[in-house]
Structure 1
Amino acid sequence: MEAAEVLEGAKPANLVNVVSRRRPCGRNLYELWKKHGSNILQQSGLEVGELVDRGDSVLLFLYRSDALRSLLALKSVGTILLKAGYASY
């Protein structure tokens, strides 16, 4: 659900924190991610970066590379990033 905007093309990327705890259905999304995450993404068209795995949660950066590249190529976005201290590329 947290990646719906990215899947539908409304956003180029999203951060998703997957916590290791049992859901009411009995499933643990952290364990499911660790076991099946790469297979799920192969079918989605999304890419992922695991930013940090704390052992009881994992922070994922889910993105569409083409949409993110297009956004970062905008001059206005580059200006904001430069002002925030990021180097231009």
Structure 2
Amino acid sequence: MKILRVRFEEGFIVVETDEECTISLPLSYFPRLNEATPEERENYRIFGDGQYVNFPDLDEDLYLPALLTGKRSRESEKSLNKWREWREKRKRSRS
């Protein structure tokens, strides 16, 4: 099974596979995606023979087998806060 495409609908990430499987999980499972702008969410690439999806603007990777089992992010609050600081610095440097 491989990831074909990703889309976002009303608070959910929706992942479609080549085996006509659709996985829909709440964005709240993935804090970085939940806090992202629509533009940041739409900037993704599928890699690793369709097993991973990467969101480069968010420094976030999702793994297909984890998505299939409904696993949510296990990122610590400390790590998430460091990411927020990194993201803010990145935004300021681009403006």
Is the pair's TM-score, using the shorter chain for normalization, greater than 0.5? no
Using structure 1 for the length normalisation, give the TM-score: 0.26
Greater fraction of residues in strand: 2
Larger RCO: Structure 1 or Structure 2 (Cα < 8 Å, ≥ 6 residues apart)?
1
Q: Which has the larger radius of gyration?
A: 1
